[in-house]
């Protein structure tokens, strides 16, 4: 029985030895992650573009992993719809994080009674903001209203606490990588997009593949 299963695995062209589904190799996936990381880094320099650019990166990796023909041109073509749909979230997310980070810093100064608890609450809220923004980026479909996306992402974050914890861990690990070796900034955007994609697949979504349900 095991020998037969091994023979079937070897003859299965969709899962080559040392590779992934649909003929994708690990090296090819690494190349795409690096490409997405560079694009996310460059196009996120204005800061307010982080969420839309990450959404585009997640869709690109999603198409790549299911074997769709994809290109850099198609990826960049998604950028305009992403900016149009998600620009309010792109503005609000960094503004909220800056405010929450200031609150945490102020709480640590000891000038506010109960500052420690206040700082913890703000840190938890900041983590929630990050998770919701990442889930919006992971589930974005061109033409979908940003507020509808935020409500759906918040609900998904609440129902899938395990996935939300994984996203927080991914952000922390990306931060640690950059802290350890600054040039890794070139790849962390791609790693974060891949983590978002994995969590969305874990919760049953198919980012980058579903083209319907817009609006």
| Number of domains into which the chain is organized | 1
The C-alpha atoms of residue 149 and residue 135 are separated, in whole angstroms, by 9
Is this prediction's pTM over 0.75? yes
Q: Is residue 209 part of a domain?
A: no
Q: Is residue 10 part of a domain?
A: no
Whether the CB-CB separation of 196 and 58 falls below 8 Å is answered with yes
Would you report the helix, strand and coil content of the chain in percent, each value rounded to 5?
A: 75, 0, 25
- Taking residues 79-106, what's their average pLDDT? 94
Predicted confidence (pLDDT) at residue 167 exceeds the cutoff of 90: yes
The C-alpha atoms of residue 188 and residue 170 are separated, in whole angstroms, by 10
The C-alpha atoms of residue 38 and residue 186 are separated, in whole angstroms, by 5
* Helix 79-108 × helix 50-65 angle, to 10°: 120
Predicted confidence (pLDDT) at residue 211 exceeds the cutoff of 70: no
Predicted confidence (pLDDT) at residue 9 exceeds the cutoff of 70: no
Predicted confidence (pLDDT) at residue 18 exceeds the cutoff of 60: no
The set of residues, in sequence order, having a beta carbon less than 8 Å from that of 177 and lying 6+ positions away, is 184, 188, 191
- Taking residues 10-19, what's their average pLDDT? 45
Q: What is the pLDDT of residue 215?
A: 40
Alpha helices in 12-114 (DSSP H): 26-43, 50-65, 72-77, 79-108
- Taking residues 111-133, what's their average pLDDT? 89
Q: Is residue 215 part of a domain?
A: no
Q: Is residue 3 part of a domain?
A: no
Q: Is residue 153 part of a domain?
A: yes
Q: What is the pLDDT of residues 169-196, one digit of tens each?
A: 999 999 999 999 999 999 999 999 999 9
Q: Is residue 147 part of a domain?
A: yes
Predicted confidence (pLDDT) at residue 1 exceeds the cutoff of 70: no
Q: Is residue 56 part of a domain?
A: yes
Q: Is residue 121 part of a domain?
A: yes
Q: What is the pLDDT of residue 144?
A: 87
| Cα 160–chain centre separation | 15
Predicted confidence (pLDDT) at residue 70 exceeds the cutoff of 90: no
Give the structural domain span for 131: 27-202
């Amino acid at each position: 029985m095991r020998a037969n299963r091994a023979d079937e695995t070897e003859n299965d062209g969709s899962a080559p030895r040392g590779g992934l589904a649909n003929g994708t190799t690990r090296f090819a996936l690494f190349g795409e992650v690096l490409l997405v990381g560079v694009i996310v880094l460059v196009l996120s320099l204005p800061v307010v573009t982080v969420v839309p650019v990450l959404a585009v990166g997640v869709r690109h990796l999603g198409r790549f992993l299911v074997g769709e023909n994809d290109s850099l041109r198609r990826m960049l073509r998604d950028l305009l719809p992403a900016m149009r749909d998600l620009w309010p979230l792109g503005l609000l997310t960094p503004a909220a994080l800056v405010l929450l980070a200031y609150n945490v810093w102020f709480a640590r100064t000891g000038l506010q009674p109960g500052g420690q608890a206040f700082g913890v609450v703000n840190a938890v809220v900041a983590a929630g903001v990050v998770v919701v923004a990442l889930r919006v980026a992971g589930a974005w479909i061109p033409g979908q209203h940003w507020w509808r996306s935020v409500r759906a992402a918040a609900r998904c974050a609440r129902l899938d606490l395990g996935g939300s914890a994984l996203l927080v861990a991914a952000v922390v690990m990306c931060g640690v990588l950059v802290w350890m070796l600054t040039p890794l900034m070139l790849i962390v955007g791609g790693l974060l997009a891949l983590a978002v994609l994995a969590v969305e697949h874990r919760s049953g979504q198919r980012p980058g593949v579903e083209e319907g349900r817009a609006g």
